[in-house]
Every structure is written in structure tokens, then in C-alpha cells.
Amino acid sequence: MWLWRVKPWGLAPRGLKWKGGLLSPPVLLPLRPVSGCRAPSVTATALVNYWAQLFEERGVPEARESSEYIVAHVLGAKTFQSLLASQRSTSITDLQREQIGELCTQRLQRMPVQYIIGEWDFQGLTLKMAPPVFIPRPETEELVNLVLHEEFQRCQERRGRGTLDHQPHCSPVILDVCCGSGAIALSLLSRLTQSRVVAVDKGEEAVQLTRENAQRLHLENRIQIVHHDITSGVNREQLLPWGPVDFVVSNPPYIFHCDMEQLAPEILRSIFLEVDPRHPELVGNWLQSRPDLALSISATHVDFCGKPRFLHIHKSRSCQ
């Protein structure tokens, strides 16, 4: 019988929390002869089908998609569908089979696909992903779109008032709190070509990952990355050289109700905030109880599932 034995990968890497651990018994895959003779030919499509079925049997979410992404990654493509029909039906090499087996074994341990392949696309940008930095959610792309729409309207209004000083583009300064992988900050930099961003995160891994992604995208000259815990106060010395901030964007770990009273935002103009669908009412009530902040929710936007996901918060101009 033709068998390929995939050995367990041991414990999950430090910093990640997913169900799994050691796989027992080992996975048996009809790929390589135990006797050491040459293995039968196996196509990429056959491997996708095999691992998708095994993922499904083991209760791995998005079984088919996980299998396709991993196989495509090993074959040098972003998606399985982007491979030519001839590539999907041609036998793959022994090394490729081994690599696919190792990566799929990690998926059986519930490691996210984004960590397994080491990258993910966000707003058309390919970003490096690494644990323990959070993986950006698809809904967060809508947060970026809201900021872009607001900035476009802002530029149109300034042009109408003749206050752009004949500059071809607006040049906002954006503060990204809890930047993580840099997904939001770098997406805005790539779309707003005259913008500058200050990206802040308390995690050293997040700061390093944002820096790497900025360099990969050649955007490092317009971003200041600050390693700082924003809850301990604003690091004015690092922020002042960038001048007044036009937008504050944030996709932090969601704040629980018991932590609301500890928030003390210092904001200019606009905040775009991604929240749990249960939070808009809580945030609205809290802002009403703190008139000294002069902050109010001007709009609540839903995500593509119809859930209230994004808040647009303004500060009264009289208090700027």
C-alpha cells in the first residue's frame, strides 16, 4: 500500500491560542511508498480534495478554502483558481507534497491560514502576517473606505472654499492607534499619496511587523511608527513634530463596558472606530455622560453583514 506518514508538529508556537496541539494518530496520506520506492504521481487538485475532506472530517473551519490557499501558496500562487488548468492537473514534486503536508498539519492544529502562509491581502496590498499580531478582519476594509470617503469630501469642500493653496492633493495627517500589522495605516498611505501617518502600538511585535510591511511596500518615508501604550498617556514628544492630526483611526481589541470609564480621548476632528455590534449604544451613552469631551457620534455604519460595526465620532469645532 502507498502511504505517506505526516508527523505531528508538536505544540503550537508561543503567542498563539488555537485548539489543537499534538495530532494522534498520525495522518496517513496515499502519496509515498513506505518501502522508499518512487511515489505515484499526485496532482494539485487531488491534494486539495484530500486535505479539504480531512479538514472537514476534523471540523476545521473553511475546509475547502484552507486547502486551496495552502496548495496554491506552495505552488507559488495567491489562489488556487489563479493556477492554470495545466498546473492543477500536473503532478507535483515530492518536495511540494512534503511542504503541503507540513502546512496542512498546522492547519489541523487550528493555526490560521494567514499565519501558515505568512501573508494576506488587505485593500489590494499583500501584507506579511505573523503571530501574535492580530489578523485584520475583512470588515476593516470598510473602515478604510469610510476614511477615504471622508477625506475626499473634505478635499472637495476645501477646493470649493479656495483654501487648498493650489495643491493638487490634500495631505492629511492620520493617527492609527493599535496599528497591528499596519493594514489600516498602509492602506491609507497607498491611497492618499500626500498623506502621512503616525502608527502606534504597545506590542513590540506589532511595531516590527508594521515597519516590515511599510518597507515591503516602499511607504516607510511617510510613516512614523511609535512603540507606545496609548492607555498610559500620549507621547507628545513623538507626536508634536507631525503637527495637528486630521484623523484618528483605530481597530483595537474591543473595549468592554467595564473599561469605558477609563477612556480619556484627546481628539481633533474625526475618529473612525471599528467596534463590536453591541458597542454603538454603549459608546453613545458614555459620550453623552461626558459633555466635557465635546465628542458625539455623527454616524454609525454597518458592515457587509448588516451589523453596526463602525462609528464616526466628531469633536465640536468650538473646542478644538
Q: Where are the beta strands (DSSP E) in 53-188?
A: 119-122, 125-128, 173-177
User: How far, in Å, CA of 294 to CA of 260, rounded?
Assistant: 16
Percent of residues, the chain, with pLDDT higher than 70: 75
Taking Cα atoms as reference points, which of 145, 122, 92, 111 lies closest to residue 272? 145
User: With contact defined as beta carbons under 8 Å apart, do 295 and 320 qualify?
Assistant: no
Q: Is the pLDDT of residue 223 over 90?
A: yes
Best-predicted range by mean pLDDT among 46-55, 138-147, 157-166, 221-230?
46-55
Is 0.95 surpassed by the pTM of this model? no
For residue 41, give every residue at least 6 positions away whose Cβ sits within 8 Å of its Cβ, in sequence order, or none: 91
Distances (CA, A) of 253 to 9, 177, 250: 30, 11, 9
Domains of the chain by residue range? 2-117, 140-319
Cell of residue 53, nine digits: 475532506
* Grid cell of 2 as nine digits: 502507498
- In Å, what is the CA distance from 166 to each residue of 75, 161, 191, 195? 49, 12, 20, 16
* Phi, psi values for residue 189, rounded to 5°: -60, -40
pLDDT at 164 over 70: no
Q: Could you read off the pLDDT of 272-320 as tens digits, one per residue?
A: 777 888 888 888 888 888 888 778 887 788 877 888 888 888 776 444 4
246: left (phi > 0), else alpha (psi -120 to 50), else beta?
A: alpha
pLDDT value for 85: 93
The confidence score (pLDDT) of residue 273 equals 76
Name the 3-class secondary structure at 35.
Answer: coil
Question: Cα–Cα distance between 195 and 312 in angstroms, integer?
Answer: 20
pLDDT digits (tens, 9 = 90+) for 45-73: 999 999 999 999 999 999 999 999 999 99
Distance CA 237, CA 139 (A): 33
Tens-place pLDDT, residues 17-36: 343 333 333 344 544 444 55
Residue 259: all three cell numbers together: 473599561
d(CA 201, CA 238): 13
140-319 belongs to which homologous superfamily? Vaccinia Virus protein VP39 (3.40.50.150)
DSSP string, the chain: -EEEEEPP--SPPTT---S--S-SSPEEEEEEETTSPPPPP-BHHHHHHHHHHHHHHTT-SSHHHHHHHHHHHHTT-SSGGGS-HHHHHSBPPHHHHHHHHHHHHHHHTT--HHHHHTEEEETTEEEE--TTSPPPPTTHHHHHHHHHHHHHHHHHHHHHHT-STT-SS---EEEEES-TTSHHHHHHHHHSTT-EEEEEES-HHHHHHHHHHHHHTT-GGGEEEEE--GGG---HHHHGGG-S-SEEEE-PSPPPGGGGGG-----SSEEEEE--TTHHHHHHHHHHT-GGG-EEEEEEEE-TTS-EEEEEEEE-GGG-
